[in-house]
Structure 1
Amino acid sequence: MPGGRLTQQERQQIAVGLADGLAYAEIARLLGRPTSTITREVSRNGGPTGYRAELAHRATQQRTHRRRQATPRGAQASPQPYGRDPEVVRDYQETLTTVFMTSGLPKMMARVLGCLYTTDTGSLTASELAQRLQVSPASVSKAITFLAGLDLIRRERDERRRERYVVDDDLWYQSVIRSARSNDQLAEAARQGARVLGPGTPAAVRLENVARFQDFITENLIRAAEQAREVLYAGTGTISDGAAAPSSDHGHDMI
C-alpha cells in the first residue's frame, strides 16, 4: 500500500522496471509510490545494475530485525509528538536521508540533515544528534562542519550556552545564493577562456555561450530566491531580524 513498506511483489516490479530501462520516476508512478521511495530502495540494495528483488527483500527484513533488537523496548513504545508512529517517522527519515545523498551529500552529512529536518524544533545539540543517530560525537562534529560550510545549517547558543545546530527556511535561500556564486565563478572562467583562445574562434564562441548561459541562470536564480523568500517566508518568523534580503545587485556577496 502507498506509504507502507514495499512488498516482495513491488520489489519484483522494481527489478523488472530497471531491467526495462525505466527511470525511477516512471517505476514510482507504476507502483503508486513516491520517487524517493524507489530511489532509496535501489540505492541501498545494489544500485540500478545490481538490484535483485529477493536479496533486497531479505536485506530489508534483516535490517528491520536488527533495528528492533537494538532499540530498547521502552524507547520503542514511548509516545511521539502529535501521535506519530515512530516506525513511520524513522522510515521517512531514511527516505529523506537518501534523497539528500542522491543530491550529492555524503552519507553522515545526509543523516544529520535528515535528523534535523524531522524534528519540530529544527535544532539539536551534538550530543542529541549522536544519541539519535547512534554515532560518535566525532562523526557528528565532522558532519556539522561540512554542512555549516555549505550554509545548510547554522550554529547558535541556547539559554544554557550549549551550541545547537539549526535548520530553517532561510537556509534554503542561503544555499541558493551560494549556488549562484558558483555559477558566477564558472561564467568568469569561461570568459577568461574565450580571451585566451581568441575572440571569434570556435572554442571561444563555445565558452562565451557558457558564460552567457550561466549569467542568465544566475540572475534568474537570485531573483526567484528573493521572491520566494519574501512571499513564502515573510510571515514565518524564521528569517532573523538582522538579515535583510539583499537586492539582486549584490546578492552574490552574501557568502
Structure 2
Amino acid sequence: MDLTQEERATLLRFVERFALVLRESGMAPMPARVFAYALADDADRYTAAELAEGLQVSPAAISGAVRQLVQIGLLVREREPGTRSDLYVLDDGNLWVRFTGAELAALQRFEDVVAAGVDILGADRPGGRRLAETREFLAFLHEVLADAVARWPEERTRRAAAG
C-alpha cells in the first residue's frame, strides 16, 4: 500500500522520535533510524536503496547501519534467487525476546565483573559494600528479565485473545 505524502511525513516524524529514544539508549544514529523505520513501515523486506529512499538518506548511509543491525540480530540479510541485491528483513517473530536476550547477556557481563570486584576488594569496606549491593541488584534484575522472557509466549497469547 502506497502512503500519501502526509502519511509518509507522519511515519518519518515517528521514526525520528523513536530513533532518538534508541540513540539515548546507546544505539548509533543511523542503525536506530533504520530499525525504527523497518519496525514502523508496512513492508517486511527492503533493499538498501529502498531503505535509503524511505528514510530520505544516501545509500552509503544505509550500508553500515544494516550491517550493524544484522550483526545484532534485529535484521536478517536474504537474497532472492536470481537477484544481485541483498534484502533486509525485519524478523519480527520473537524480536523483543531476541533483543532482551542480548541485553541479558550484557547484564550477565556486568554482574560477573562486579562480582569479581567484590571478591578482589572485599565486602567489608564501603566500596566493596556498594559493589556487593550492585551485584545483588544486577542478579535480581537478571532473574526478573529472564522470567519475563520465559513467560512472554504465554502472555502474548493471552493478550492477543483479550484483544
Query: Using a 3 Å threshold, how does the CA distance of structure 1 residues 93 and 135 change in structure 2: closer, same or farther?
Result: closer
Partner of 1:164: 87
- What is the RMSD of the two structures over their aligned residues, measured on CA atoms? 2.5
- Taking structure 2 as the reference length, what is the TM-score of the superposition? 0.79
Partner of 2:13: 94
Structure 2: gaps spanning 5 or more residues: none
Q: Which protein has the larger Cα radius of gyration, Structure 1 or Structure 2?
A: 1
Partner of 1:150: 72
Match of 2:120 among 172, 187, 196: 196
Partner of 2:62: 140
CA contact (8 A) 1:173 1:229 kept: no
CA contact (8 A) 2:12 2:55 kept: no
Query: Using a 3 Å threshold, how does the CA distance of structure 1 residues 226 and 93 change in structure 2: closer, same or farther?
Result: farther
Query: Separation in 2 of the partners of 1:140 and 1:176?
Result: 24
Which has the larger helix fraction? 2
Match of 1:217 among 125, 141, 144: 141
CA contact (8 A) 1:193 1:204 kept: yes
SS at match of 1:199: coil
Q: Give the drift of 1:224.
A: 0.7
**1:7-41 CA-partner distances (Å, limit 9, x unpaired):** xxxxxxxxxxxxxxxxxxxxxxxxxxxxxxxxxxx
Higher relative contact order (CA 8 A, sep 6+): 2
CA contact (8 A) 1:93 1:114 kept: no
**1:75-134 CA-partner distances (Å, limit 9, x unpaired):** xxxxx44xx544133223322332222232333222212321233232211121122233
Query: Using a 3 Å threshold, how does the CA distance of structure 1 residues 233 and 160 change in structure 2: closer, same or farther?
Result: farther
CA contact (8 A) 1:122 1:166 kept: yes
Q: Give the drift of 1:173.
A: 1.2
- Taking structure 1 as the reference length, what is the TM-score of the superposition? 0.53
SS at match of 2:78: strand
Q: Give the drift of 1:184.
A: 0.6
Query: Separation in 2 of the partners of 1:138 and 1:218?
Result: 38
Paired amino acid for 1:122: D
Query: Separation in 1 of the partners of 2:141 and 2:134?
Result: 11
Runs of 4+ with >3 A deviation: 159-162
SS at match of 2:73: coil
Query: Separation in 2 of the partners of 1:160 and 1:171?
Result: 29
Query: Using a 3 Å threshold, how does the CA distance of structure 1 residues 202 and 129 change in structure 2: closer, same or farther?
Result: same
Paired amino acid for 1:107: P
CA contact (8 A) 1:194 1:208 kept: yes
Query: Separation in 1 of the partners of 2:55 and 2:42?
Result: 17
* Residue identity (%): 27
User: How many pairs does the alignment contain?
Assistant: 154
Query: Separation in 2 of the partners of 1:226 and 1:122?
Result: 26
Q: Summarize the alignment of residues 52-91 of structure 1 with structure 2, pairs less than 5 Å apart.
A: 80-81=1-2, 85-91=4-10
Deviates more, 1:90-99 or 1:174-183: 90-99
Are residues 1:103 and 2:22 paired? Answer: yes
SS at match of 2:123: coil
CA contact (8 A) 2:11 2:41 kept: no
